[in-house]
Amino acid sequence: MKGHSLSDENNRIIGGLSINPIFADFVETELLPAIGFEYAMFWSGVESIINDLTPKNHELLKIRDELQDKIDDWHKARQGSDWDHDEYVAFLKDISYLEPSDTFVKIETMNVDAELASVAGPQLVVPVSNARFAINAANARWGSLYDALYGTDVIAEDEGRGSTGAYNARRGAAVIRYATEFLDKTLPLAGASHGDVNAYGIDHGEDGVRFVASHANGETLNLKSPEQFVGFKESESRMQFLFRNNGLHIELLINPDHPIGKDATANLADVVLESALTVIQDCEDSVTAVDAADKVSVYRNWLGLMRGDLTASFMKGGKEVTRALAKDRVYTSFNNEELVLSGRSLLLIRNVGHLMSNDAILDAAGDEVFEGILDAIVTVASALTDRRRDGLQPNSCTGSIYIVKPKMHGPAEVAYTDILFSRVEQLFDLEENTIKVGIMDEERRTTVNLPLCIKAAKGRVVFINTGFLDRTGDEIHTSMQAGMVLPKEAIKERAWVHTYEDWNVDVGIRCGLPGLAQIGKGMWPKPDEMLQMVETKQTHPEAGASCAWVPSPTAATLHAMHYHAVDVQAVQKKLASRPLASLDKILTPPLGDVSTLSAEEIQREIENNAQGILGYVVRWIDQGVGCSKVPDITNVGLMEDRATLRISSQHIANWLLHGVTSKEQVLSIFKRMAEVVDNQNDSDASYKRMSEDIDNSIAFQAACALVLEGCNQPNGYTEPLLHQYRRKKKAELAR
C-alpha cells in the first residue's frame, strides 16, 4: 500500500525511511532507552532489513495469488464434471502447491523453557492491546479452583445452589465436594478420601519434610505417591502445601481464619491450580491495529509486560482498582531449600502474518512497510528488557524469545520468517536461534506441506498448533470455484477436519517435537459454557496435544484439570506408532449439493452467518474491539475474532457465487440482522445503532463488503477490508 497517513507531512525522514512521529517518539523515548540501544544503529538496521526483505515478501504474496488463480482456473475448466481426486492431487503437485516430501526431519530447537518443552497445560490467548486483559492473562498462571467452580455453570444452580447475591453456603458445599473428588483422583491418599481428613500437616525428618494428613478417626494418612509433595509455605495461621502431578502444580491453602476455610473440612480454604502455563499475547486476530498510533499502543503494552511494570487502573464498585503483574511464589522445598516458582505465565507474542502493512514507516518508494517485519523488530527489542528486570523471574529462564507466526502459506514462507528472525538477531547481536517460532498450521498449503514447514525452521520451532477456524476459511476460499460448500455444521463433520487434527499431531511427533516443543489445539469458543468445556475439552490432551487454547483465566483453571487426568507424554508415545493420517482425506474439499436444502434452511444458514458477521464487525469498526464475546442468533455468547469472521464471510460468498442465494436475499437478511444486533447491544451506552441510518453506517458497509467482495479477497482474509473501513471510521471520528 502507498503511504497515506494523515500525518505523512509530519513524518521524520531518517535515511530512506519516512517515520510516523508517534512511532518514532515511542522508539526513541521508550523502547531504545529501555534496552540501551543506540538510535542511529537501530534505524540503520531497520532500513537495511526493510530494503532487503520487502522484495521477498512481495514475491511470496505474488506466489499465493498465482497459485490461487491456477486452482480457480482448474476448477472452472472442470465445472459440471465428476470429481477426480487423483487428477486433482496430481495437479496440485504439478503447480508445486503440494511439494514432495517423504522424510520427517527432526527439529533441533535448544534452550526451550519447560512450559513449552516438557509440561502440558492450558494456553490462554489475549489481545495485548488491552492492558487489563493482558495483565490478567499473564497472572493466570495460578487460579482458584473454588472460584472457577463457584462462578461458572460447572456447578448447577438447582436445589438452592444459586450463584447470585451473597455467598451461598449450599453452592459452596457443592464446590468443595467437586474439588474433593478432583483431589482424590489427582493427589490420592492411601486408604481414605480427602473428604475424610480433619487436618493436613508435615513431618520434619532427617531426610527432609514429609506431607501427612490426619483421618477423622485419628489415623495418619500418606499420599499414595509421596513424591507428589514438593514444598510448603507457613505464615501465621496460613499453611500452603505444594504438589506436582503430570508436571503441573497444585496448592492446598489451609486457613482457619478464611471465610471458607473456617468451616471447611481440615480448614481447606482453597485449591489453587497451576493453570495457564503459557499465554499468547496477541498482536493479530484479536487486535484492531490499523495505523501507527494503534501499533504503538500494542507495542507499549508488550514492552510493559517484558519490563514487568505494566499496570492498568479501572473503576470497580465505585473504587479505582489497579492491576499489576503477580509476584513470584516462594516455598520451602521438601528438602528444606528455597523453591521459587514464577507467579506469571510464560508469555509468547503473536506477530501478524506476511500480508498487511502499516503506516508507522514508509519505505523509500513511499509504501507502507510490511507489518510483519515491523512486528518482528519491535517485539524482539521489547523482549530484550526481560533480561534486565529486577524482583521477578525472567519470562524466559533460558533467554529465549517466543514469537507465534500466523497465516504462513507453505515452506517458503516459513523459510522467509526464519531469515527475518535471523536478521533481527543480527541487529540486536543475539545468538542464532534465540528467537523461537510457533507455526500456526491454519492455512491449507501449510497443512499439506507441514513436514517441510517444520524443516524450514528446524532450529527455531517451539510450537505447532491447529487453528480450525482460519483453516476452514482458507479451505472454503481455496476451493471457492470447485462448487458449493456444505452448511458450516456439516463442514465440521467431514473427514478432512478430523484428519487435519490428527495429521498435525502425527507430523509433530515424527518431527521430534515431544520434549522440545508444543503440539497444540484450538480455542474453546463459548466462554460462558464451562460445563460443556469441562465435559468435552479433555479430548485435546487425549489427542496428543500438549496445550490447547482457552478464552479466559477461569477457563484455564478448569481446563487444567484435564492435564491432571491425562498424561500427554504417555499419549504421544503411544500415538507415535499409529499410521500417519491421510493426506487424501485432507485434500478432499467439503463440497456438496445443497440444492436439497429447503428455502428455510438456506435462509437460517445465511441469517446465522450474517448476524455473526455484523455482531463482530460493528464492534471492530465502530469501537476498535478486535475480539469479544458476541451473542449469536440464539443469544449464546461466542468468542469472535477475524478467524470466525473469515469463515462466515467466505461461506456466504461461496453460496452467492454458486447461486444458492442472491445478492438481494443476502442484503435483505443483513438489514434485518442489523436490527437484531442493534437490539442485542442495547445495554452498551457507547454503541451506535446501524439500523437507524443503515446507508451511512460504515460498520454495515464493511460487513456487506466482506461478503460481496469475498471471492476477491487475498486467500479470503478479512484484514484488508476491515483496515480500510476502520481507517475510514477513525477519520470520521476525528472530524
Task: Indicate which residues carry an active-site annotation.
Answer: 350, 641
Nearest to 302 by CA among 543, 176, 137, 83: 137
Strand intervals (E) in 379-504 = 401-405, 435-441, 461-466
CB atoms within 10 A of CB 689: 16
Distance separating the N- and C-terminal Cα atoms of the chain = 24
Q: Which three cell numbers stand for residue 634?
A: 440464539
Handedness of CA 590, 592, 595, 598 (dihedral sign): negative
Grid-cell match 429447503, residue found:
598
Per DSSP, the residues of 636-661 read -EEEE-HHHHHHHHHHHHHHHHTTSS
Q: Is 524 helix (H, G, I), strand (E, B) or coil?
A: coil
Contacts of 192 (CB under 8 A, 6+ apart): 213, 215, 219, 221
Q: How far is CA 694 from the centre of its chain?
A: 34
Q: How big, in percent rounded to 5, are the helix, strand and coil portions of the chain? A: 50, 20, 35
Place of cell 514508509: 362
Q: Do residues 302 and 120 touch, judged by C-beta distance below 8 A?
A: no
Amino acid at 413: E
Q: How many residues does the chain have?
A: 735
Residue 665 CB neighbours (<10 A): 16
Check: CB of residue 177 under 8 Å from CB of residue 189: no
Cell numbers standing for residue 203: 513431618
Render the burial of 101-115: b for 16+ CB within 10 Å, e for the rest. Answer: beebeebebeebbeb
Q: Are strands 547-550 and 518-521 parallel, antiparallel or unpaired?
A: parallel
